[in-house]
Amino acid sequence: MGRIQKLPMSVVNRIAAGEVVERPASIVKELLENALDAAPTRIGVELEQGGVALVRVVDDGVGIEPADLPLAVAAHATSKLRSADDLERIETLGFRGEALASIGAVARLVIRSRTAGADGAMLEVDGGRVGDVVPHGGAVGTTVEVHQLFGNVPARRAFLRAAATEWAHAAEAFVRTALAHPGVALTLAHNGRRVHDLPASDSWLGRISALHGAGLAERLIPVEADDGEIAVHGFVGRPEDDMASTRLQHLFVAGRPFRDRSILHAVQEGYRGLLLSGRQPIVFLRFDLPADMVDVNVHPAKMEVRFREPSRLYRLVLSALRTKFLATDMTARMTPPAAAGPDAAGPGMRQVANSAGWAPAFAPPRPAGAPAVAEGLPLWEADADREQPGGPAPWPANASSAASAARSPATPAAVGERAVQMHDRYIVVESRDGIEVIDQHALHERLLYERLKASVAAGGLEVQSLLVPERVDLGPGEVAMLTEHAPTLARAGMRVEPFGGSTVIVTSKPALSGRTAAAAIIREVLDRLSAAAETASAGGMLVDEVLHGIACKAAIKAGDPLSQAEVDALVRDRRIVPDSHHCPHGRPTSLTFSRQELDRQFRRT
């Protein structure tokens, strides 16, 4: 007898579950998709313990007939496809007929359902063993419960993270799906607490607003493009609302969220020169194209899709962003200077091109005799008497250096050091050993961060109480997260209180944050905290994340013209920071060109 055998179905399902069911978030996604395919008006999602103990999805859709229940949990059984041809024009979210069978193989699955025309029934599957269909009353629609995920597969259960982390992933899956279906009312609860209550909305922006807060939605920029066959439309964030993570980058096609590196690359391209490298824009984009131009059957968990002509989507996205950005005045602030290509620079310069991301910092040269310093407003002086009488300056915090610099604005920063701001983003310093090019944002961010950290450690963080508390509109999930982390924020000088609904008020912030809007800081901090939740960071690290977030948003930006006094103070203050050569993210804050290297390049030696 041969050694090859067909595997029993129970083993086949377990193997499939390895691809389809990774964690509670996968369950949320699959059950939500099933519910959405049943033409519901509302769906409720409840989780216990991050979804590991329970995921329950209740819909008021068409339901499943009792005779169909055993088929619903059988592998490769679906009501959504009849023939291979149907694969060419998939109009439902599901089609693989795998989800319920896979879930039933690795958890206890309970389905209760009733259609309009028949009596209701219930079916249970436990670790692959299918029970009997028993009568069950109830309203038209379906309730699916998944208990104790991987309870019978200890090896897989060991891979699950802390409940808080699983919950974060599950909530993320909910949000992504909810964004794709604004017309269906959706709720999400965790451990008995309602986290999202989303009314059906006929506008996409309405759903975005309900999920992420009116504050974010109001600031979004609508974009669209259409090449006659493929259309893209949606919303993108302003450059100054940039994020540390890709959490707010959402792509959709045919009602599905999907990931696509090429399209996100086009987005990055559209923002070129508007964002620092490593920073992420907010993106909500929806693609409409004929069904035969996209294949959704390329990924077991359907996270990715394949387009027939990906380059067309790339070009469309790029043009949608560029058209918009050229018509909006934000490019005026931060257009990178026209520069020769990287090849025009010698090898010594190429380092600059690489690390700064776009162009040699030395090009183009200023004409002789032209003023070397941008004639902008002196930042902190103007701020001090304009916005916050008596309020602290955004920087420098070191009052003595500010005062002395202001007294003699033209004095070089130190003996043998002349410093000049270039292109409103770099500071070039002459030193004894050569030339140093400083990234003004990176260095200032680093300085602020070190000062904040030192003051917190010494217990002497200077806090600015806000006479008029700042209101910040957030998404409900974000309010919950913020409330949870309120003590951590307070340690970093940010006092935040719930204000009802999805609004919070900020009553204090660190004096070092100057007049940076609380909303910008809160968003940045939330972004970092949610990224930290994924790695289950300890308390001390969370305070650090908050301080990073504050420093990042409060620091001067590329594009901010500085007075000579500010330039000098910045250059001088870098000495008080250990390793000022890197910003808190590890990007370089400065590049050095030694005299020796320059001499060598010019063949002087």
Positions touching Mg ion (CB under 5 A) are 34, 94, 99
- Interaction of residue 124 with ligand ADP, rule CB under 6 A: no
The secondary structure of residue 243, as a DSSP letter, is B
Q: Which stretch binds ligand ADP (CB under 6 A): 7-15, 91-99, 299-307, 584-592?
A: 91-99
Alpha-carbon distances, residue 397 vs 393, 412, 555, 566, 573 (angstroms): 7, 20, 12, 12, 10
Q: Which stretch binds ligand ADP (CB under 6 A): 99-107, 240-248, 267-275, 468-476?
A: 99-107
Q: Which two tokens stand for residue 316?
A: 């469309």
The site partner of 79 among ligand ADP, Mg ion, none (C-beta below 5 to 8 Å per kind) is: ligand ADP
The minimum distance between CB 30 and ligand ADP, in angstroms, equals 6
Name residue, tokens 């629609």. Answer: 141
- Interaction of residue 177 with ligand ADP, rule CB under 6 A: no
In angstroms, the CA 98 to CA 581 distance is 53
In angstroms, the CA 242 to CA 245 distance is 9
Out of 52, 100, 217, 474, the only residue in the binding site for ligand ADP (CB under 6 A) is: 100
User: By the 8 A CB rule, do 221 and 239 touch?
Assistant: no
Q: Which two tokens stand for residue 299?
A: 């990924």
- Interaction of residue 204 with ligand ADP, rule CB under 6 A: no
The minimum distance between CB 150 and ligand ADP, in angstroms, equals 18
- Interaction of residue 564 with ligand ADP, rule CB under 6 A: no
Binding mask 266-305 for ligand ADP (x = CB under 6 A): ----------------------------------------
Q: Which stretch binds ligand ADP (CB under 6 A): 60-68, 123-131, 165-173, 400-408?
A: 60-68
Helices (H), 535-594: 539-554, 564-573
In angstroms, the CA 566 to CA 155 distance is 58
The site partner of 142 among ligand ADP, Mg ion, none (C-beta below 5 to 8 Å per kind) is: ligand ADP
- Interaction of residue 142 with ligand ADP, rule CB under 6 A: yes
User: By the 8 A CB rule, do 203 and 286 touch?
Assistant: no
Q: Find the angle CA(5)-CA(11)-CA(14) to the nearest 5 degrees.
A: 150
Pairing of strands 249-253, 283-288: parallel
Out of 13, 26, 34, 209, the only residue in the binding site for ligand ADP (CB under 6 A) is: 34
Q: Which of 142, 488 has the CB closer to ligand ADP? A: 142
The minimum distance between CB 98 and ligand ADP, in angstroms, equals 6
Q: Find the angle CA(144)-CA(147)-CA(149) to the nearest 5 degrees.
A: 115
Out of 42, 80, 306, 324, the only residue in the binding site for ligand ADP (CB under 6 A) is: 80
Q: Which two tokens stand for residue 379?
A: 């930042």
- Interaction of residue 95 with ligand ADP, rule CB under 6 A: yes
The residue number with the shortest CB distance to ligand ADP is 94
- Interaction of residue 45 with ligand ADP, rule CB under 6 A: no
Q: Which of 300, 412 has the CB closer to ligand ADP? A: 300
Picking from 335, 365, 336, the residue whose alpha carbon sits closest to that of residue 349 is 365
Picking from 437, 425, 373, 382, the residue whose alpha carbon sits closest to that of residue 574 is 437
The site partner of 567 among Mg ion, ligand ADP, none (C-beta below 5 to 8 Å per kind) is: none
Cis? peptide before 396, omega within 30° of 0: yes
The minimum distance between CB 20 and ligand ADP, in angstroms, equals 9
- Interaction of residue 128 with ligand ADP, rule CB under 6 A: no
Q: Which two tokens stand for residue 219?
A: 């600031």
Picking from 180, 194, 366, the residue whose alpha carbon sits closest to that of residue 287 is 180
The site partner of 522 among Mg ion, ligand ADP, none (C-beta below 5 to 8 Å per kind) is: none
What is the helix (H) or strand (E) element at residue 508, kind and residue range? strand 503-510
The minimum distance between CB 92 and Mg ion, in angstroms, equals 8
Q: Which of 45, 379 has the CB closer to ligand ADP? A: 45
Binding site for ligand ADP (CB under 6 A): 30, 34-35, 38, 59, 61-64, 72, 78-80, 94-101, 142
